[in-house]
Chains A and B, each alone.
Chain A
């Protein structure tokens, strides 16, 4: 029998763009040796809408609804980053009440984003129960958004200079009731998953990305923290009054998929803590700073980054003194984090690739923009 009989050639397999666990329209070209992955290629751009170019053709106020459509799971965070960037460009600051309400809504959105991630990630791994409970709690958050700003997903909640909407009657009570209820719900998810044998076997040691690699790839957010780096822009470069709230940065040790899961679970608890503190210390006062009706910033450039649920979300805006920005550049966390897929997936099995894509927590609207 010839020696080459059992020798296998490299198999190229397309995963996506319609694969359900690629979270949208990500196409991954897998190079396989048997079931082992020897390399991956990401093909992105199926959802490309030219958001940055749209930004150059709209006035500053008009572009605000578009940023919600990048990371549509965490639209409020996108809006906050954009508003902060333009406020820095204009040299205004939102009043304290507006800042506190922004923190409340952004942290609620972080919870909603992580819940959605947890549900779909568990579904990818094969745990079909958590998604039901996750979406139930997410629904509570979306109800708060709907009552506050009239939209559930693409909220357009903030305006440049502060807020348009005053909080509705019962806003504080609804947020506090959610915060009271939420930790026990997280306990439920943890009871379902954290100690589960299958969950641990599928996630422990899968997709390891250590701290050096994270820094080399520019990976931010829970992925970086799971590798043991205590980096959170809310603490490092506080914006919108985050320095007033007491919260911890959860970190992991190994930088594997399981640690990222643990870090995100802890982050949800911390976010609920921030929401409670912010609601209890919600100051009275105006909600809108003095902003001209036609926003015409002085020529200049600005970069503002915030800690979005998925990592560092940055806006780089260049103004040439007209009503439209000269250049609008978005640094989306998912796009940067996705680059580490090849590093993590190399040498693992196909089934692990699903877990790894899930753990990056990508939103293709943000990757492709």
Chain B
């Protein structure tokens, strides 16, 4: 009987409509106004790679151990170094990181023993060409420079 009345008076339909109406209040707006307002991504966010430098001496922290290149499943990191004949230590010459093939799994930053390679919170590094996605050492140290959005 109750079910029949619910059917006749379309109670279930109006209950659904009430849910929709309840969320019409402006404070329930959930959309992120992305280009106008930048979202704050999480601290652990795995975004654009960065090659850290020592802030005091401005020298790279990378010791060219090649562990990141070994850990990378896509083998997109190429580390080149020369051995300094005086100090007998490897010195980084070039560091290539192909972000077009990167899947941001974070295995390279896990493998890095000196926290030189890091996936940062930058997430805006779209490019118009594939060439621009292959980052060299300078790009990795400076980070991407996204064009600011003008309303």
Interface residues of A (CB under 8 A from B): 58, 61-66, 69, 129, 133, 136, 139, 143, 146-151, 154, 156, 164-165, 168, 188, 191-197
Return the CB mask of B83-95 against A: 1 if under 8 Å, else 0.
0000000000000
Contact of B12 (CB < 8 Å), options: A136, A154, A197: A197
Residue B149 interfacial (CB < 8 Å): no
CB-nearest residue of chain B relative to A62? B73
Within 8 A of A (CB), among B82-121: 103-107, 110, 119
B16 pairs with A196, CB closer than 8 A: yes
A146→B42 CA distance, assembly (Å): 6
Would you give the shortest CB distance from B8 to chain A, in whole angstroms? 11
Closest chain B residue to A164 by CB distance? B110
How far is it, in angstroms, between the C-alpha of A37 and the C-alpha of B107 when the chains are bound? 49
- Best-surrounded residue of A58, A154, A165, A192 (most CB of chain B within 10 A): A192
B103 CB to closest chain A CB (Å) equals 6
CB distance from A115 to the nearest CB of B (A): 14
Are A168 and B43 neighbours in the complex by a CB distance under 8 Å?
Answer: yes
For residue B59, CB closer than 8 A to chain A, the reply is no
A350 smallest CB distance to B (angstroms): 26
Q: How far is the CB of A257 from chain B (nearest CB, A)?
A: 18
A149 touching B103, Cβ below 8 Å: no
B45 interface residue per 8 A CB criterion: yes
Q: Which residues on B sit within 8 Å (CB–CB) of A58?
A: 73
A76 to B30: give the CA distance in the assembly, Å. Answer: 25
Are B44 and A147 closer than 8 Å at their CB atoms? yes
Please tell me if the beta carbons of A191 and B16 are within 8 angstroms of each other in the complex.
yes
Q: Is B128 an interface residue (CB 8 A)?
A: no
CA A143 to CA B20, docked complex, whole Å: 24
